[in-house]
C-alpha cells in the first residue's frame, strides 16, 4: 500500500464512519470498489463499522469460486480486514435469514444484529456510505 497517491493520511478528529454493503458481488462492481474504500479508510484511523445487509450478505458467503467467470475472487480480502484494524463487522439478521443463510456460511466472524439494533447503530454514526 505505498503507491504515491495513497500517502495522504491526515491528522484530525476521529469520526464514526459506517460502510453499508447492500449489493451482491460480481453482478456489479459496487462490492469490490466498496471494499477498496474500506481498505484505504483504515489508514485514516477512524472509527469504522462495516455492515452487510440485503444482498450485501452474499459478499461474504463462503466458498466463492470465480475461476469459470474470469473475475478475481475478492472474498478472501474480507478476512484481512482484521489486520487493518477493521473489526466491527455487522450482519443484519433478517437479511441473512430471508436468504436461508446463517453466520456459519460467512467467511469472517461477524456480529449478527437485528433490524432495530442496526437502525440504532446507524443513528450513532457521523458519516454513512452506502454501496
Partner 1 sequence: MPMLHTVNKSPFERRTLDTALRHAVKGSGVLLIEDAVYAAFEGTVVAEKVRAALGDLKIYVLGPDIAARGMSEKQVIDGLEVVDYGGFVDLVTEYDKVQSWL
Partner 2 sequence: MKLSILVNEGPYQHQSADSAIQFTKAALAKGHEIFRVFFYHDGVNNGTRFAVPPQDDRNITEEWTKLAKENDLDLVICIAAAQRRGILDENEAKRQGKDGDNIAEGFRISGLGQLIEAGIQSDRLVIFGD
Binding of residue 127 to partner 1 (CB under 8 A)? yes
Question: Which is nearer to partner 2, 32 or 103 (by Cβ)?
Answer: 32
- Positive or negative, the CA dihedral 68, 24, 78, 35 is positive
Residues in the site for partner 2, rule: CB under 8 A? 3, 5-6, 8-10, 12-13, 15, 17, 29-30, 33, 36-37, 40-41, 43-44, 46, 127, 129-130
- Rounded least distance, CB 130 to partner 2, Å: 7
Secondary structure in 3-state letters for the chain: CCCHHHCCCCCCCCCEEEEEECCCCCCCCHHHHHHHHHHHHHHHCCEEEEEECHHHHHHHECCCCCHHHCCCCCCHHHHHHHHHCCCEEEEEHHHHHHCCCCHHHECCCCEEECHHHHHHHHHCCCEEEEC
Question: Which of 20, 41, 91, 110 contacts partner 1 by CB under 8 A?
Answer: 20
- Rounded least distance, CB 90 to partner 1, Å: 12
Question: Which is nearer to partner 2, 54 or 105 (by Cβ)?
Answer: 54
The residues that touch partner 1, with contacts defined as CB under 8 A, are 20, 22, 53-54, 115, 118-120, 122-123, 125-128, 130-131
Amino acid at each position: 500500500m505505498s503507491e504515491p497517491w495513497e500517502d495522504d493520511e491526515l491528522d484530525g478528529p476521529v469520526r464514526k464512519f459506517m460502510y453499508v454493503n447492500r449489493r451482491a458481488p460480481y453482478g456489479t462492481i459496487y462490492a469490490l470498489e466498496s471494499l477498496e474504500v474500506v481498505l484505504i479508510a483504515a489508514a485514516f484511523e477512524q472509527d469504522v463499522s462495516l455492515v452487510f445487509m440485503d444482498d450485501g450478505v452474499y459478499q461474504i458467503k463462503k466458498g466463492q469460486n470465480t475461476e469459470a467467470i474470469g473475475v478475481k475472487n475478492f472474498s478472501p480480502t474480507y478476512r484481512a480486514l482484521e489486520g487493518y484494524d477493521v473489526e466491527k463487522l455487522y450482519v443484519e439478521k433478517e437479511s441473512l435469514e430471508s436468504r436461508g443463510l446463517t453466520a456459519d456460511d460467512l467467511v469472517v466472524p461477524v456480529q449478527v444484529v437485528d433490524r432495530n439494533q442496526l437502525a440504532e447503530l446507524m443513528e450513532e454514526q457521523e458519516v454513512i456510505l452506502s454501496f
